[in-house]
Amino acid sequence: MSGLGDLISTARLARGLTQAQLAAMIDVTQPALHRYEHGLRDPEPEILTRLADVLGVTQEFLQHAGKTRGAMAVDAHMRRRATEKATTWRRLEAQLNEYRMHASKLFEQVSLQADQIIPTFDPEATRSGDAARLLRMQWRMPVGPVRDLTGWLEAAGCIVLLEAFGTPRVDGLSQWIDDHPVVLLNSQAPTDRQRWTLAHEAAHLCLHASYIGDDPEAEADAFAAEFLMPGEVIRPQLRNLTIGRLTDLKRQWGVSMQALTERAHQLGVLSAGQRMTMYKQFSRMGWRTREPYSDELAVEQPRLTEVITQTLISKGFSLLDISKLAGFADVDHNTMFRPAGPALRAVLSSSL
Amino acid sequence: MVISYTISLDVTHHLDGRTSSYQTQTVIDFELQGVTQTFPGYGEVRLEASYEWDAKTRTMGAPVISLRHGRNRVIWAHQLPPGQGGAAGGTVPAPTVSGPALPVVEVAERESDDRTGTDQT
């Protein structure tokens, strides 16, 4: 597939459209669109204009596709349940690909000077737990619970985007092709689950940027466990666990009670029988599907995209300029780089 | 006979009616009702007041006052109406910790006529 074909296909999937639906919207036949997507034919200029209008992107963005490092439609690391429908996670994967391309487009004009980086490790040579400890050391993180995990990732130049996925069965996904990794996180998940997903995606970025071993998901979970709950620090607190004690620990460490239970078992301070008893109590109270106290945890709130937006505004860029810099057709389509709260709108002089 | 009321606030009332506190000799003596040895003919009723505590969820409930003879024998226990002032229950907010500094954003110079100057939506 060509760069443009990949972009059309990705943007279509990201919007949940079939080939027939998009073809109708741009007034071409479905086979013609199929040929554009597979690089068998280049769309005429007027069709390119209609495509840009319908997709809400600039023509320059369409033409830009394929010129940057990394292909357009790249598989993302995704934390999801096996029961989720393929159409849903393919749509989310396409959305992440498109966000990455918008970020890449903006970073042609904007650069980030970060004090820290996301280091990469060879999963064959570095165990997941060791990689998590090394990352904490490199970032000079305080001992104990991780506060503001999103802030730590953003400080290393990672773009974190919160979006309602419309399903609880996909937690998040990440991708690292250009200089700045992008993580897409389900805003509908509880905070403790979001934090686990962020740590899990950080593991993929550190361990699986260029090589993926036999069981990347298990490696990412082991990394997340050590990163959020370092064994040497948390082990004494996990002895003699009760439901009440788990409640305290959840508030302190910002992770779910089930994650704490699993960690206690991994660290050898909770037997298999005790673990099963704990899970039976969770089930009785309906906590296996929805745990309490998640809303008491400090929310993970991305700030980097807003800071980029505010910096551009302070340099005299309008919201439309910023949208176009990132390849969006207009402010309404720009869901990535916008100030907090409702978007600013021009006020017509006649209404004053 | 002279009767006085003494209230201990240094206890925790559990949902099942139990109370707990450090088991010092003073506390054990306090929870045993009866005449004082020091002043014969002087009666004392010893009450315990505190908030209910749900140990599973780590939450405070209503204020409770109870009369008991010994630790486990509850004679009566009543929930008190919520007071006007003060505050109890809820959670202690985690201290705000300043996180890492976000990257510095640098913008490439552009020609001024590249910009629209207005926002059009």
Q: What is the pLDDT of residue A350?
A: 39
Please give the pLDDT value at position A160: 94
For residue A20 the two structure tokens come to 């027939």
The pLDDT assigned to A347 comes to: 45
- Chain A nearest CA to B109, separation (Å): 8
For residue B106, give the nearest of A113, A147, A292 by CB distance. A113
Q: Cβ of A115 and B101 within 8 Å?
A: yes
pLDDT of residue A110: 92
Q: Is residue B84's pLDDT more than 90?
A: no
Q: Please list, residue by residue across A52-67, b when 16 or more beta carbons sit within 10 angstroms of its beta carbon and e when fewer do.
A: bebbbbbeebbebbbe
Could you tell me the two tokens for A229?
């709950």
Q: Do B103 and A292 touch (CB under 8 A)?
A: no
- β-strand pairing of B2-8 with B12-14: unpaired
Rg of chain A over all Cα atoms, to the nearest angstrom? 22
pLDDT, position A349 = 40
Report ipTM for this prediction: 0.81
- Residues on chain A touching B115 (C-beta within 8 angstroms): 316-318, 321
Report how far residue A101's alpha carbon sits from residue A253's, in angstroms, rounded to the nearest whole number. Answer: 35
Task: Output the six-digit token pair for B93.
Answer: 């907010």
State the Cα–Cα distance between residues A59 and A55, nearest whole angstrom: 10
- The per-residue pLDDT for A352 is 37
DSSP one-letter code for B79: E
Determine contact: A317 vs chain B, CB below 8 A.
Answer: yes
Cβ distance B104 to A248 less than 8 Å, yes or no, reads no
Contact A123, A211 (CB under 8 A): yes
Residue of higher predicted confidence among A9 and B11: A9
User: What Å distances lie between residue A90 and A14, A19, A220, CA to CA?
Assistant: 8, 15, 21
Q: Which of residues 174-213 of A touch B (CB under 8 A)?
A: none
Would you tell me which residues 132-171 of chain A have a C-beta closer than 8 angstroms to some C-beta of chain B? 139, 142, 147-148, 151-152, 154-155, 157
Average pLDDT of every residue of chain B: 75
Query: How far is Cα A348 from Cα B120, in angstroms, rounded to an integer?
Result: 10
Task: Give the pLDDT of residue B42.
Answer: 75
Residue numbers in chain A where pLDDT is lower than 70: 1-2, 65-78, 80-84, 341-352
* Rounded Cα gap, residues A10 and A30, in angstroms: 16
Q: How many residues does chain B have?
A: 121
Give the whole-angstrom CA distance, residue A319 versus residue A343.
8
Asked if A247 is an interface residue toward chain B (Cβ–Cβ < 8 A), one would say: yes
Q: Does B76 touch chain A (CB under 8 A)?
A: no
3-state secondary structure of B16: coil
Which of B14, B102, B112 would you mutate first to test chain A, the one with the most A CBs within 10 A?
A: B102
Distance from the A296 Cα atom to the nearest Cα atom in chain B, whole angstroms: 8
Q: What is the pLDDT of residues A280-308, one digit of tens each?
A: 999 998 998 889 999 989 899 999 999 99
B37 compared with A314, residue with greater pLDDT: A314
Q: pLDDT of B17-29, one tens digit each?
A: 788 888 788 888 7
In this prediction, residue A72 carries a pLDDT of 45
How far apart (Å, rounded) are the C-alpha atoms in residues A87 and A91?
6
